Structure 1
Amino acid sequence: MINPTTAFRLIRIQRVLLRYGLDEFVFNLHLFRPLRYLTYLSPSYFLGKRKGSRGERLRKALEDLGPIFVKFGQILSTRQDLLPPDIGEELSRLQDNVPPFADDLARQIIESSLEVPIEEVFSTFSPSPLASASVAQVHTATLHTGEDVVVKVLRPGIEKIINSDVGLLYTLAELANKYWGEAKRLKPLDVVKEFDHTIHDELDLVREAANASQLRRNFEHSEHLYVPDVYWDYTRQNVMVMERIYGTPIGKIDQLREKGVDLKLLAERGVEIFFAQVFRDNFFHADMHPGNIFASDDAKYLAVDFGIMGSVTLEDQRYLAENFLAFFQRDYLRVAQLHIESGWVPKETRVDEFESAIRAVCEPIFEKPLKEISYGHLLLRLFQTARRFDMEVQPQLVLLQKTLLNIEGLGRQLYPDLDLWQTAKPYLEEWYKNKVGPKATFNKLKEHLPMMGEKLPELPEMMYQVLSDASKGELEVKWRSAQLEEIKQQMAKNHRKSIMAICGGSLLISAAVILGLDGFSPLMLGDAPLTTWVLGVLGGILLFNALD
């Protein structure tokens, strides 16, 4: 049952789509082309509401619908190779050019959070925002100590809007679970839960400031990435003050060329930064659209907006690294085996068939620059392969996949001739050597040596105690196993069923014997004694439960 709040939200979405004449998009899809004549029945057709280009109307509709829809547009905007130029250009404006809220309201929020007048904190403060996004907007200011800073302010009432949209996503996911055959494999409810957790983390600017501080430490002496400093004294849940950076937006390719920035080096560094964050630090910036990334003149990345960060489990990290390496080496058999070992595809999957399917998808894209790869076609083939082999979505990896898609999209814009695979391969090989090879074993031994030295004096006494108990016949071994517990439970269940079957059979035999006795005349029910009926029914129930 759809609750009233969700129903009203659906009605509002429909109104916005009609207001901007977006029925045009629906009927332009191949599936609905036979029904294009229905556009003449649309109110927007007769009322002339299709003002502006289709890209502009789509952008404005996403802005009106709120943060979650804006984020969807931001993700699309990073893949302009998959979009018509007019739509891609308009959606790129969603990265940092969403309509701002009132200047005086931003001032009120800052003063209320810091509990002092703005003039006591900043010597200058720009009331007009420098940038405005779906969740917050940014103002420039100068501290009394002379540092240039930016002040990030959450949009008022944003949590209520997000809760409404997330509730709608949950409703759609629950409906998908009930009525969509692919739901078991694609796990829509788990994906929405992951998104819910991520989007609500973005509403706490103290958490974002902590993320920025951690990432800054991870790349403190890096020549590839610079993370601005946080001013903790002026940071609250809905206000954050951070060092102001100066650079060229990564999406302004013409400006980067005019400044003589090495675009090939910039693209390669982007790939290296991604793999360093995921495999070296296990802590990665998961919102790397062009509105959040700048570049210095010496091809150094400057990052902002740390509300969405990601990490993976150590087990997933190892499987991912091995998958990437096997993929780069074209070892498709190993890729197939890893997917089965990790549980990403069912255990009963035939390895040879899965290997062949992966080879058919991946082999055509090797040794090609980004500009020659059709990722729309590749994604379609990957989805078909996943469906064929019942490959389940891994919700914990959705953020990582989104980030990789963003990085690849940035690389395509910066330097289309980039060889993504050869750029990443050396880094992964080095990581694998340090984590799995002899060097890794030595490092782990070195790390645990102090603890081993601490426990070593206790070993002789422990060994003596074990041998002494064994010689006296007092040695006890306690062993717990999930599989063993399951076997024990099954045995107990079978034992109960056996007893019920014996009892049920005995009662049925007793009923038959009583029915055949001469001279036995208890209470009658029909043509048979009542005792016979009681024993027969009880025996039948027990036997039925035993066989169930």
Structure 2
Amino acid sequence: MNPSVRKTASQREAASQREAASHRNGRPPDAGPAAPEPGRSSPPDPEAAASNKASGRASDGSPYAPPGADAPSDAADAPDRPTDGLEDVEPTGDAPDEPAPRERTGFDPLAPYRGAFKRFFTVYRHVLGLLLGGILAYVRALPPGERGGFNHLPARFAAFCARPVVKRSLRDLPFARQLRRRLEILGPTFIKLGQIMALRKDLLPSTITSELSSLMDRLPEVPFSQVKYILERDLGRPLHELFRRVRKEPLGSASIAQAHLAETLGGEKVVFKVIKPGIREVITSDLKLLEAVGVLLQWVLPRYQPQQIIEEFSAYTEKELDYTFEADNAEIFSANFADTPGVVFPDIYHDLSTGDVLTMEFLRGLKPGSDEALALDEATRERVIDLGAEAIIRMLYQDGFFHADLHAGNLVILPDTGDEEAPVKVGFIDLGMVGRFGPKTRRSLLYYFYALVRGDVERATRYLLGMARLGEGADPQGFRRAVGDLVRRFRMQGSRSELSVAQLILESLSLGGKYRIFFPVEMTLMVKALITYEGVGRMMEPELDITAVSRRHVERIFHRRFDPRKVGQELMSGAPELVDLAVDLPQLLAEGAGFVKERLNRPPPSRAPLEGLRSGILAGAFVVGGSIAAVGGGSWFLWGPLFAAGLLLAVFGSS
């Protein structure tokens, strides 16, 4: 959002005073304005809000119900009431009311996960049960002709002993389903771990990742009395001094938080998210247990890198428990796309946000799969697809800062904004999980994707391998051949509208585990973003040529990357270091040569072993000096003679 039009806290306070004055003068309050236009903070015409029908509670599987989902029209028959389900907030006193104890309300969805000592044994019981269940599943999957031989006798004996120990409801299930069921039993932390595991198709078998993709991240809703208490406690004011109206029924409830629609004192529609009480303590305790479990599983199943997966999961989850990170992410995205009016992110209300509460602009629009979105005219649909492709490719390959939890529920289509510069806009919400690529990785990804969409198999494979980490016993040549065959096979089959660049990248990453080649988790999150873009694009335009759209945007970034002015700016930014290197290099070489000369002039115990060594060491010194100059970006006339001198000494020096 443009900072020049952002409402400050003082402006909002002035708006609330004007609102209070209108009540004192007997004027009726605003009948419920629509959400502010992206890029603006002031509410639009109230008649525009009345023309937008509310479309019901969000039902997608997003971690938090998206702010872009419209509210239900439970008051549509009352002309003097807004159709968004909001209720007026009545003054109840200045001090926040302590919610009723859990013993009286009967509400404590986290009760099964409390108690560190009990939790410790619960987790280890399920880990052990999963290992024993895996033995049962392995024996059950053996061909009938092999079950009776001696080759699998230890496994059959272990399965015989394990069968009475494993829960009856799980013992006959396939291993992947056992894993999913046990993660669901263990609660929200382990469900989120399973969702991260579902992304690691490069490390885990497809049967496991497919099964884990159906995990649902949900817990019962928190009563509004507890939500109200958290708001008043964290923001330090009674609810009626924070919001004019609030919808008590949540837009959505997930394991960590739940979201509500509200209206500020200034009449702006917002969504606030509240971290559920007690969830931080439970997840923090579970993460410590998972670290110990990861050590055990790494010893048992090193091929699947369980310790790495758990460490990645812990890093992302800890940030999801603090909304200041999501607020910062929204600000960074808005700044990155300040020159792209067609791509918007919700404005953050910092005066109504803390680590446990996040209040943001309500983007009222259409969900990509809704009937209204599919009914848009062809030109609008094509513009939406183009904006989405531009945004995602730019996040990944230009900014290196991207939405890491991207799915259709986290996208909002704003088809008629009234903005002449950008009449159609695409909004991104739920920005708590982001991925980052460093400059080197970002360049490699850009070159890889560019080579891929242009059909350059050899270069694409080389760039992909350059971003990998080689494990013990890695076979990079075998991986290179396998990926090359995969790319050629993809390009030979199917029409252009059926080709999926994201699926091609995903299958390439999946080959890594077979050849002991591993990729960072950000690579799989990148693929998730690309799959979302392709899925939404084909949902709105079934005959869409994904490769052509992707090529157009990635070529634009590629050419911008090698723009002479930009290259010159990058060279100038590194000029001070190059100048320092050129100035210091003669002194460094002189000191190095003096050191070598001093060592060579020492009388050795025996001259025989050192015959010819002097020329070899001097040659090595010249070659090393030339290498330093070359790597540091020095001119060829500086490092060229050094290399030549080293070569001459090595060939013609006395032996």
User: 1:502 maps to which residue?
Assistant: none
- Note if 1:66 corresponds to 2:192: no
Letter in 2 for 1:258: A
Query: How does 1:521-532 map onto structure 2 within 5 Å?
Result: none
- Note if 1:392 corresponds to 2:518: yes
Letter in 1 for 2:355: Q
User: 1:497 maps to which residue?
Assistant: none
User: 2:73 maps to which residue?
Assistant: none
Letter in 1 for 2:235: L
**8 Å Cα contact 1:312-1:397 kept in structure 2:** no
- Note if 1:245 corresponds to 2:338: no
TM-score, length of structure 1 as denominator length: 0.65
Q: RCO greater where, 1 or 2, for CA within 8 Å and sep 6 or more?
A: 2
**Residues 246 and 431 (structure 1), Cα distance of their counterparts in 2 relative to 1, 3 Å cut:** same
User: 1:320 maps to which residue?
Assistant: 445
Following the alignment from structure 1 to structure 2, what is the Cα–Cα distance between the partners of residues 200 and 163? 8
TM-superposed deviation, 1:423: 1.7
TM-superposed deviation, 1:107: 0.5
User: 1:417 maps to which residue?
Assistant: 543
TM-superposed deviation, 1:177: 2.3
Following the alignment from structure 2 to structure 1, what is the Cα–Cα distance between the partners of residues 466 and 229? 55
Following the alignment from structure 1 to structure 2, what is the Cα–Cα distance between the partners of residues 223 and 398? 29
Structure 2 residues without counterparts, runs of 5 or longer: 1-115, 148-162, 171-176, 417-423, 593-655
> Of 297, 308, 311, which residue of structure 1 is paired with 2:433?
308
TM-superposed deviation, 1:209: 0.9
**Residues 128 and 32 (structure 1), Cα distance of their counterparts in 2 relative to 1, 3 Å cut:** farther
User: 2:230 maps to which residue?
Assistant: 109
- Note if 1:197 corresponds to 2:323: no
User: 2:280 maps to which residue?
Assistant: 159
Query: How does 1:167-178 map onto structure 2 within 5 Å?
Result: 167-178=288-299
> Of 246, 253, 258, which residue of structure 1 is paired with 2:375?
258
- Note if 1:225 corresponds to 2:343: yes
Deviations 1:173-229 (A, max 9, x none): 32332233525xx4x323322221111111111221111111112223424421111
Deviations 1:123-152 (A, max 9, x none): 112222122223211111111111111111
Following the alignment from structure 1 to structure 2, what is the Cα–Cα distance between the partners of residues 256 and 445? 46
User: 1:287 maps to which residue?
Assistant: 405
TM-superposed deviation, 1:447: 5.5
Letter in 2 for 1:256: A
> Of 485, 489, 498, which residue of structure 2 is paired with 1:360?
485
**Residues 69 and 116 (structure 1), Cα distance of their counterparts in 2 relative to 1, 3 Å cut:** same
- Note if 1:269 corresponds to 2:387: yes
Following the alignment from structure 1 to structure 2, what is the Cα–Cα distance between the partners of residues 67 and 154? 14
**Residues 424 and 375 (structure 1), Cα distance of their counterparts in 2 relative to 1, 3 Å cut:** closer
Q: 3-state SS of the aligned residue for 1:101?
A: coil
Following the alignment from structure 1 to structure 2, what is the Cα–Cα distance between the partners of residues 224 and 33? 58
Deviations 1:476-495 (A, max 9, x none): 64889xxxxxxxxxxxxxxx
Query: How does 1:499-514 map onto structure 2 within 5 Å?
Result: none
> Of 255, 261, 272, which residue of structure 2 is paired with 1:134?
255
RMSD: 5.1
Following the alignment from structure 2 to structure 1, what is the Cα–Cα distance between the partners of residues 539 and 244? 39
Query: How does 1:444-483 map onto structure 2 within 5 Å?
Result: 444-445=570-571, 477=589
Letter in 2 for 1:324: F
Letter in 1 for 2:248: P
User: 1:513 maps to which residue?
Assistant: none
Deviations 1:367-423 (A, max 9, x none): 6456566988985675345523x3123245443344334444444544443333222
Following the alignment from structure 1 to structure 2, what is the Cα–Cα distance between the partners of residues 378 and 317? 16
Q: 3-state SS of the aligned residue for 2:517?
A: coil
Q: 3-state SS of the aligned residue for 2:270?
A: strand
Query: How does 1:425-444 map onto structure 2 within 5 Å?
Result: 425-436=551-562, 438-444=564-570
**8 Å Cα contact 1:205-1:240 kept in structure 2:** yes
Query: How does 1:115-130 map onto structure 2 within 5 Å?
Result: 115-130=236-251
- Note if 1:148 corresponds to 2:269: yes
TM-superposed deviation, 1:435: 2.4
**8 Å Cα contact 1:369-1:416 kept in structure 2:** no
Following the alignment from structure 1 to structure 2, what is the Cα–Cα distance between the partners of residues 28 and 290? 37
Aligned residues: 441
TM-superposed deviation, 1:11: 4.5
Q: 3-state SS of the aligned residue for 1:134?
A: coil
Following the alignment from structure 2 to structure 1, what is the Cα–Cα distance between the partners of residues 225 and 526? 38
TM-superposed deviation, 1:61: 8.1
Letter in 1 for 2:373: L
TM-superposed deviation, 1:345: 4.5
Q: 3-state SS of the aligned residue for 1:248?
A: coil
Deviations 1:63-122 (A, max 9, x none): 982155157459979x9xx99xxx99986xx57x75321111100000000111000111
Following the alignment from structure 2 to structure 1, what is the Cα–Cα distance between the partners of residues 320 and 222? 18
**Residues 74 and 104 (structure 1), Cα distance of their counterparts in 2 relative to 1, 3 Å cut:** farther
Letter in 1 for 2:457: Y
**8 Å Cα contact 1:285-1:310 kept in structure 2:** yes
User: 1:8 maps to which residue?
Assistant: 122
Q: 3-state SS of the aligned residue for 2:518?
A: coil
Following the alignment from structure 1 to structure 2, what is the Cα–Cα distance between the partners of residues 181 and 13? 16
Q: 3-state SS of the aligned residue for 2:431?
A: coil
Farther-moved stretch of structure 1 (280-289 vs 166-175): 166-175
Letter in 1 for 2:390: E
**8 Å Cα contact 2:257-2:273 kept in structure 1:** yes
Letter in 1 for 2:510: F
Following the alignment from structure 1 to structure 2, what is the Cα–Cα distance between the partners of residues 168 and 408? 38
TM-superposed deviation, 1:283: 1.3
User: 1:527 maps to which residue?
Assistant: none
Letter in 2 for 1:161: V
**8 Å Cα contact 1:337-1:351 kept in structure 2:** no
User: 1:519 maps to which residue?
Assistant: none
User: 1:510 maps to which residue?
Assistant: none
Farther-moved stretch of structure 1 (419-428 vs 409-418): 409-418
Following the alignment from structure 1 to structure 2, what is the Cα–Cα distance between the partners of residues 368 and 155? 48
Identical residues among aligned pairs (%): 23
Q: Could you say which structure has the higher helix fraction?
A: 1
Q: 3-state SS of the aligned residue for 1:417?
A: coil
- Note if 1:383 corresponds to 2:510: yes
**8 Å Cα contact 2:483-2:511 kept in structure 1:** no
Structure 1 residues without counterparts, runs of 5 or longer: 18-22, 46-54, 481-548
Letter in 2 for 1:69: I
**Residues 127 and 432 (structure 1), Cα distance of their counterparts in 2 relative to 1, 3 Å cut:** same
Query: How does 1:176-187 map onto structure 2 within 5 Å?
Result: 176-183=297-304, 186=305
**8 Å Cα contact 1:325-1:425 kept in structure 2:** yes
Farther-moved stretch of structure 1 (131-140 vs 102-111): 131-140
TM-score, length of structure 2 as denominator length: 0.56
**8 Å Cα contact 2:468-2:519 kept in structure 1:** no
**Residues 130 and 478 (structure 1), Cα distance of their counterparts in 2 relative to 1, 3 Å cut:** farther
Following the alignment from structure 1 to structure 2, what is the Cα–Cα distance between the partners of residues 348 and 114? 55
Letter in 1 for 2:514: R
